[in-house]
Amino acid sequence: MSTPDYAQQLADKAARLQTLFTGLDTPELEIFPSPPSHYRMRAEFRIWHEGDNISYAMFEPGRKAGSASLIKLADFPAASPAINRLMPALLQAVAAVPVLQNRWYQCEFLSTLSGEVLVSMIYHKKLDDAWQAAARQLQQDLGISIIGRSRGQKIVLSQDFVTEELEVAGRRFRYRQTEGSFTQPNAAVCQSMLTWACQSAQGLGGDMLELYCGNGNFTLPLSQHFRRVLATEVSKTSVAAAQWNIEANGCDNIAIARLSAEEFTEAYQGAREFRRLQESGIRLADYAFSTVLVDPPRAGVDDDTLQLLAGFDNILYISCNPDTLRSNLEVLNRSHRIERFALFDQFPFTHHIESGVLLRKRSTSE
């Protein structure tokens, strides 16, 4: 798509967001665009078989997957340059090796800005020693990492992660991103989000609580602006990645608690004790929280956690669903005012909107 097409879709998103937030006292919307092409670090495709020929495939939205809705792909302009370079080479190499081609069903790519690529090859057959030998050779020939999957099988030939490097305010942060776990798909916009969050955190001081921290995407750069950070995450895979990321980046003022937002609320309010906190040596009484960062799933923040957030002086809210953000702000707006309001175009040419809000506690006079 051309740049003018992109500019118009971004303007439409901004207009939609501003219309949705009518009635709330919001500052001027800050807009962070995406590159109009080669912005996705992840991509996945079906593998379409026609006799001895194979191709990457997608299907028309809203229609049953089949020949009538088939869209064959030679490349995918939305995906990173590394994925686009690899796509034809991988297909050509697999087509020459029957044990790799036979019953290959789906292909998933995970890449980095530096060009590292992890490929998950998914099959409708049991993966045997012959497949492993051929896949190891393919991995070596193409300079990639490969995972083989089929029902009840996951074969990691070398590693199940890539290591991304993101630059925030002149410092580079290394992130282990594991196959199958959540990572921000648009690395360029992710860097804009992290920079915006760090700018918003300047001068807040004290300690920070982070809910839904994932692999520590926001945690690492934001830790520079606070005395201590306590981050929570329920996924074991994400917690393991976050712990590696903390150590690799030398961020020694961060502690990770494997709790959901709802569980942390219970612990913080003294309603329930959690052995996971005790085993990690985390004492909530040791923290003087000034700020909370929340990056919830599309369903937004639950009612009990909203009450928890309302007790903090500063709230950084990153949202992947403007409708639930709007609903949550109806509650938070009673205790806090909106200081900054941003649109991050993580998903160009789709209806999805990622946004960010900085809220500050209202004074008693307000």
CATH number of the structural domain spanning residue 206: 3.40.50.150
DSSP letter assigned to residue 302? -
- Give the chain's mean pLDDT: 94
Q: Are residues 29 and 49 in the same domain?
A: no
- What does the pLDDT look like over 32-69, one tens digit per residue? 999 999 999 999 999 999 999 999 999 998 899 889 99
3-state helix, strand, coil in the chain (%, to 5): 35, 30, 35
Q: Are residues 356 and 316 in the same domain?
A: yes
Confidence of residue 1 (pLDDT cuts 50, 70, 90): very low
Q: Is the pLDDT confidence value at 299 over 50?
A: yes
**Active site residues per annotation:** 320, 354
**SS3 for 99?**
helix
Measured between alpha carbons, how far is 137 from 170 in angstroms, rounded to an integer?
Answer: 39
Residue 346 belongs to domain spanning? 3-37+183-361
The CATH code of the domain that includes 107 is 2.40.50.1070
- Two structure tokens written together for 149: 């999957």
| Three-class SS of 44-87 | EEEEEEECCEEEEEEECCCCCCCHHHEEEECCCCCECHHHHHHH
55 phi and psi, to 5 degrees?
A: -150, 160
Residue 178 falls inside a structural domain: no
Q: Are residues 237 and 274 in the same domain?
A: yes
* pLDDT at site 181: 86
**Model pTM score:** 0.92
Q: Are residues 135 and 231 in the same domain?
A: no
**SS3 for 34?**
coil
Residue 196 falls inside a structural domain: yes
Residue 147 falls inside a structural domain: yes
* pLDDT at site 365: 67
Residue 170 falls inside a structural domain: no
* pLDDT at site 11: 96
* pLDDT at site 301: 87
Residue 312 falls inside a structural domain: yes
Q: Are residues 33 and 49 in the same domain?
A: no
* pLDDT at site 4: 58
Q: Are residues 16 and 30 in the same domain?
A: yes
Residue 104 falls inside a structural domain: yes
Domain final residue pick, 112, 131, 161: 161
Q: Are residues 195 and 255 in the same domain?
A: yes
- What does the pLDDT look like over 134-184, one tens digit per residue? 999 999 999 999 999 999 999 999 999 999 999 999 999 999 999 988 888
CA angle 159, 164, 167 (to 5 degrees): 165
Residue 238 falls inside a structural domain: yes
User: Domain tally for the chain?
Assistant: 2
Q: Are residues 64 and 33 in the same domain?
A: no
In the chain, DSSP finds a helix count (H) and a strand count (E) of 11, 17
Confidence of residue 366 (pLDDT cuts 50, 70, 90): low
Q: Are residues 32 and 114 in the same domain?
A: no
Q: Are residues 62 and 29 in the same domain?
A: no
Residue 177 falls inside a structural domain: no
Q: Are residues 116 and 258 in the same domain?
A: no
Q: Are residues 149 and 241 in the same domain?
A: no
Q: Is the pLDDT confidence value at 242 over 90?
A: yes
